[in-house]
Structures are given as C-alpha cells and as structure tokens.
Amino acid sequence: MIRNHFRIMKVDLSTGKTNIIELPGREQFLGGTGLAAMLFAEYGHMDRDWDDPDQPLIFAIGPLTGYYPLMSKTCCSFRSPYHNQYAESYAGGKSALSLRFADLDALVVVGKAPRLTALCVGSRRVETRDVEYMRGFDALQTGRVIRKLFPGSGRRSILRIGPAGENLSAYACINVDTYRHFGRLGGGTVMGSKNLKAICILGDRGFALPEGKAYPTLYKEIFKQLTTTEMMSKYHGLGTAVNINPLNELKSLPWKNLQQTSSPEADNISGETFAKDTLLRNAACAGCPVGCIHVGFVREQFQANNQYLYRQVGYDYEPIFSCGGMLEVTDAGQVLRILDTIEKEGLDNMSAGVALAWATEALDKGVISEEQTVVRLAWGDAESYMKGVELISRPPNEFYRLLGQGTLKCAAKFGGEDFACVLGQEMAGYATGEVFFVSEALGFRHAHLDAGGYSYDQKHEDKDVEKALNFLVDDARDRVVLNCMVGCLFSRGVYTADVLAQALDAVGYGNLNASLDAVGKEVQRARWRLRLGMGYDPARVKIPKRYSEVTTWKGPIDTDYMEALRSGYAARIMEMGAPLADEE
C-alpha cells in the first residue's frame, strides 16, 4: 500500500514512550537519505553534541523498498562521534525489508536507557529488555542471543553492537544480520552511548503489490538486467575483491600505509586467490538476486583437544585493502582472521585496518613506542593486528583510546600526522589520484561512494578543474536520488533516471516523477545544511602530506591540481549548502 505521508515510529529510551507519527514531505524528500535528513532536522539538535541523549538515531527506507530487487538498503543517520557532525551510513541485510514489512518508513530512537537494553519493534509492537548481562558480549554472540530473545520469521532483522560500541570507539559499527554493517562514522558508538545493545525489527505485516500489468512487466525487465547482463556479473563472480589486481596494475592500490601503490605480493590477496583458497559460498541481502557477499572460511585448531573448526567470514574489496594490503598481510586466511576479530569487536573494518597501518609506521619511525602499542605491531604479522584490534575496542591506555577516536586524533597527540591516511575518516581503498583524494576528504560522507572520483581518475589524464568539480557535484546528486530510494549503489547502471521514473510510476508514485530533479538538489542541500550548521568548514580540510607523495599510473601527484580541486570543491560545497533567499 503506497502512501504519500511517512509513517514513523519514534521510541524514547529515557521515558519508555513510543509514538507512531505521520509526517508529510514525500514529494520533497522521497525517503531514505532525504527522509533521514528531514527527520534529523525535526528531532535532532544542532546545538548539542553527538552523545546528548536527545540526539536521534534514525533508520530510513525508501518508496521502492520491497518492490524491486536491490532496493534493499537502509539509511542510518546520526550526529557522528567521529567529527561531531551529521553523518550517514548504509546497510542492507534484512533491515530494509523488515522495516517495510513492519509498515514503517523510518525508526527514530532518542533518549538513553538506564541500563543496557535490547529493543524490539514491529508494526504495532515495541518491547525493551534489560540485557545488562550482555555487556561485553561480542557482536556474533549478541546476535545469537537476540535471535532467541525475539523469535520471528525470516522477515526479522537483528542490529547490534560489540564491545567497541559499548566502549565508545568513534568508529564502532552496527552489525546487521550476517556480514552486513552500518560501518562508517560511528553508528555503533551512538547505540553504545544510548545503552542500546541491539535492535530487532520484526516485519510482522504483509504489504500488497500493485495490481495491473505494468509492475510485474517492469519487475521482470529489471530482474533480467540485474541477472543476465554483464553489468552485475562481477559482483556475483569474484565480487568486489576482483578490484585488487587491476588497481595494483594501475598503481592505485594503497599498500603498507600508502607507502606504496602497488606490490608484487598483491595477487596473494586478490579476489582470484580468495575465491580459490577460501570461498565457501555467496550470500545476499534480502530481495537481491545478485548476491555479492562472499563468505570465506578460516580453520581454527583448538590446542586442548587437537580439534579443528571452521569459521565463516565475509569479505570484499574494502576489508581486504584495509586489513590486507595496508598492513602487508599477504595471506588470504590471515586477512580473514583479522576480519573475524573486527567483526566480533564491532568496529568499522576500514578505519580499524587503516588506523593500525598508521600505528605500525609510527612505531617503525620511532614516533611511538611499544609502551604505547603494548604489542609489537609489525607489517604482515596478523597475530599482532588481531591483538591491536582488541586493544582499539577495549583500550587499556591513552594511546588506544585516542586511536579508537580516529587516527588523526591520535597523531595530534603523539605525532605522525603527515602519514595518517585520513580523508575525512580513514581512507577507502583507492589511491587513484587527485580527484578521489579531494572527493573523499571533503565529501558529505567521506566515503568512496559519495561520488565516483576513483573512476574519474582512472579515465582522465587531463587536469581540468572545472570539469572534475562538475562531475563530482553532478554524480553525487545522482547518487542522492538513488539513496532516497534506498537502492544498492552497485545497481546504479540499471536504475537509470528513466528506470527509476518507471519504477515509481508502476507502484503508484508517478506523482513524484515531476519533482525528481528538484528532489536531488533539495536533499543535497538539506544534508549539507545539516553538516555546515554543525560546524563543518570544507575550506579548512587538510589533505595529509602522504597523499602528495603518492605515485599513481599518471605519475607523481600534482599538488597544484589537487589544491585547486580542494579549494574549488570547498567553494562548491558552501554553494550547495547556502540558505535559500527566503531563509536568509
């Protein structure tokens, strides 16, 4: 059943009160990232810090969720503990479909529970349980217990945090079902600050599909595009891990804390090697016929009884880059063991790997000592990195407490800012060149998925600043529209503007089509207004020296070009977030 208002559930953990609220705004904000920004403007506080109990934690889906394949993501928004500004993260699993089946466009959680709590929501159900006994439980253990606490059908999604979230590491993630995460910028930390160990979303209602021929016809066509054309085959085959070898050949693979952009060892952790040596199976988010999630296995031997057990660990390109190449761990099984530890602790794997890479170089250079690192962090030594992950998650000293707040915060105290691989947050795995470095450093989410700067670098040798900036702004806006729906960004080649318009029309939202362009601009503006209003000044963003020392396929980085892009993009962001005339 489509509706033109949003149906929101707001749960207050401090008072125990829950409201179902119906809000207008579909034509202006569509859903997903637009709805999340709208809700933060409504319930968030520009003048209070991220950990104020009244700050909301928001989960929002879009108008096409549940109707079409790969419309399978949820947008999670919050004021981030990483930079104390508005932030977003996306995850799939069963989260989006469960919200759809619970008849909710969004869940908003405010307040702080007096004790560690698990929350269960359905279409007309809200339940909290005291789970203080679960304090310190890792994320996998927590998932198992929550599934028993709140039994349900397949339309049930389990979101939870590990020790890193409880201990307020600024890049604690929210683990979603199996192998999915709201990874970046500390959504798990916000849950920890609210004493919220887990959320179970029960999709306890059905929803009717549109009548008539238009919808099934279009559904079949989209399904065919997704499953039988070249566009998506790489995601199912070797998965995104297939990027390791080509990026290595292009001299664009960050390696050893970006001291190198390629290595003769890269093939040992390539998608091909992971598939040959570790792959057990593929998995998929609910409603996705592609199944890009690759699950490898790790064998463990128990010394006590000489028995073997295997553990299943999800992998794709980004975690292999951050916990393989960046740490020079060149054995696929060892990379999986580090990822398994990160999964249990509940940290963002990109931030954790990149932070440990910086710490290793800092130790090598004598900037810090083993007194700080406790364990001898050493390139290629997976055991030391597994221990390092636990130390970030459960910090025993000031060094790890700061490292868990972000590499640059730690470097500000101990030194080594020049070689911190931080572009707004610990970098994503693309040393492709100036456009990507600027795009991630200044971009809204500081994510490689904000805009395709990594792809632009690979296709353009020219250094036309205006052309590159136009690309970043326009591409980010197109992605904003898909993030309103909230579609998996891997499907953006299939869900063109035309297909999205047909898709909306076929489910009864044809009235939204006339305003899609305007929505892209309005949501882009609304999101920047939130960030700028919380103190973000893009003109003051610095790109660490390490990025000017990099050599890519185009040769050494051109620092003049990078600086022109940096200042130009900062000006464009200020324009995008400028108030409208009637708001001044």
Site string for ligand SF4, 30-69 (x = CB under 6 A): ----------------------------------------
Nearest approach, Cβ of 224 to ligand SF4 (angstroms)?
A: 16
Residue 285 or residue 362: which is nearer to ligand SF4 going by CB? 285
CA distance 228 to 123: 36
> Could you say which of 488, 503, 512, 532 contacts ligand SF4 (CB under 6 A)?
488
Task: Say whether residue 75 binds ligand SF4 (CB under 6 A).
Answer: no
CA distance 574 to 584: 15
Question: Which range binds ligand SF4 by CB under 6 A, 253-261, 286-294, 382-390, 511-519?
Answer: 286-294
Nearest approach, Cβ of 563 to ligand SF4 (angstroms)?
A: 35
Contact 372, 397 (CB under 8 A): yes
Nearest approach, Cβ of 219 to ligand SF4 (angstroms)?
A: 16
Nearest approach, Cβ of 580 to ligand SF4 (angstroms)?
A: 35
Nearest approach, Cβ of 481 to ligand SF4 (angstroms)?
A: 17
Tokens found for residue 316 = 């794709």
> Could you say which of 290, 449, 476, 504 contacts ligand SF4 (CB under 6 A)?
290
Residue 268 or residue 491: which is nearer to ligand SF4 going by CB? 491
Nearest approach, Cβ of 71 to ligand SF4 (angstroms)?
A: 9
Backbone angles phi, psi at 9, to 5 degrees: -105, 125
Between the two ends of the chain, the Cα-to-Cα distance in Å is: 39
Cβ burial, residue 394 (10 Å; 0-12/13-18/19+): middle
Task: Say whether residue 101 binds ligand SF4 (CB under 6 A).
Answer: no
> Could you say which of 58, 285, 442, 576 contacts ligand SF4 (CB under 6 A)?
285
Nearest approach, Cβ of 136 to ligand SF4 (angstroms)?
A: 30
Task: Say whether residue 243 binds ligand SF4 (CB under 6 A).
Answer: no
Q: How many CB atoms lie within 10 A of CB 399?
A: 22
Tokens found for residue 356 = 């440990």
Spacing of C-alpha 229 from chain mean position: 27
Residue 285 or residue 329: which is nearer to ligand SF4 going by CB? 285
Nearest approach, Cβ of 488 to ligand SF4 (angstroms)?
A: 3
Task: Say whether residue 313 binds ligand SF4 (CB under 6 A).
Answer: no
Q: Which of residues 162-221 bind ligand SF4 (CB under 6 A)?
A: none
Task: Say whether residue 424 binds ligand SF4 (CB under 6 A).
Answer: no
Residue 142 to residues 48, 131, 148, 344, Cα–Cα distance (Å): 31, 10, 10, 9
> Could you say which of 293, 469, 472, 557 contacts ligand SF4 (CB under 6 A)?
293
Q: Among candidates 4, 66, 78, which has minimal Cα distance to 203?
A: 66
Residue type, 159: L
Q: Report the DSSP pairing between strands 117-121 and 126-130.
A: antiparallel
Residue type, 201: I
Question: Which range binds ligand SF4 by CB under 6 A, 125-133, 216-224, 284-292, 320-328?
Answer: 284-292
Task: Say whether residue 222 binds ligand SF4 (CB under 6 A).
Answer: no
Nearest approach, Cβ of 204 to ligand SF4 (angstroms)?
A: 23
Site string for ligand SF4, 490-509 (x = CB under 6 A): x-------------------
Nearest approach, Cβ of 92 to ligand SF4 (angstroms)?
A: 4
Tokens found for residue 94 = 């069963």
> Could you say which of 55, 65, 72, 245 contacts ligand SF4 (CB under 6 A)?
72
Residue 139 or residue 292: which is nearer to ligand SF4 going by CB? 292
Q: Among candidates 189, 133, 120, which has minimal Cα distance to 161?
A: 189
Task: Say whether residue 98 binds ligand SF4 (CB under 6 A).
Answer: no
Residue 293 or residue 356: which is nearer to ligand SF4 going by CB? 293
Q: DSSP states of 215-277 as a string? A: HHHHHHHHHHHHHHSHHHHHHHTT-GGGGHHHHHHTT---BTTTTBS--TTGGGGSHHHHHHH
Hey, is 120 helix, strand or coil? strand
Residue type, 504: L
CA distance 21 to 512: 22
Residue 74 or residue 341: which is nearer to ligand SF4 going by CB? 74
> Could you say which of 118, 292, 481, 484 contacts ligand SF4 (CB under 6 A)?
292
Q: How many CB atoms lie within 10 A of CB 371?
A: 8
Tokens found for residue 560 = 């003049």
Residue type, 338: I
- Number of amino acids touching ligand SF4 (CB under 6 A): 13
Q: How many CB atoms lie within 10 A of CB 368?
A: 24
Question: Which range binds ligand SF4 by CB under 6 A, 24-32, 117-125, 289-297, 561-569?
Answer: 289-297
Contact 314, 179 (CB under 8 A): yes
> Could you say which of 31, 92, 186, 314 contacts ligand SF4 (CB under 6 A)?
92
Task: Say whether residue 485 binds ligand SF4 (CB under 6 A).
Answer: no
Task: Say whether residue 113 binds ligand SF4 (CB under 6 A).
Answer: no
Tokens found for residue 533 = 């209003």
Hey, is 396 helix, strand or coil? coil
Tokens found for residue 69 = 């394949």
Task: Say whether residue 410 binds ligand SF4 (CB under 6 A).
Answer: no
Residue 106 or residue 284: which is nearer to ligand SF4 going by CB? 284
Q: Report the DSSP pairing between strands 180-182 and 156-160.
A: unpaired
Residue 288 or residue 534: which is nearer to ligand SF4 going by CB? 288
Q: How many CB atoms lie within 10 A of CB 81?
A: 25
> Could you say which of 171, 235, 255, 528 contacts ligand SF4 (CB under 6 A)?
235
Q: Which of residues 363-382 bind ligand SF4 (CB under 6 A)?
A: none
Residue 292 or residue 352: which is nearer to ligand SF4 going by CB? 292
Task: Say whether residue 291 binds ligand SF4 (CB under 6 A).
Answer: yes
Which sign, positive or negative, has the C-alpha torsion 399, 403, 405, 407? positive
CA distance 504 to 512: 7
Nearest approach, Cβ of 290 to ligand SF4 (angstroms)?
A: 4
Cβ burial, residue 210 (10 Å; 0-12/13-18/19+): middle
Tokens found for residue 212 = 């008539």
List of residues contacting ligand SF4 (CB under 6 A): 70, 72, 92, 235, 284-285, 288, 290-293, 488, 490
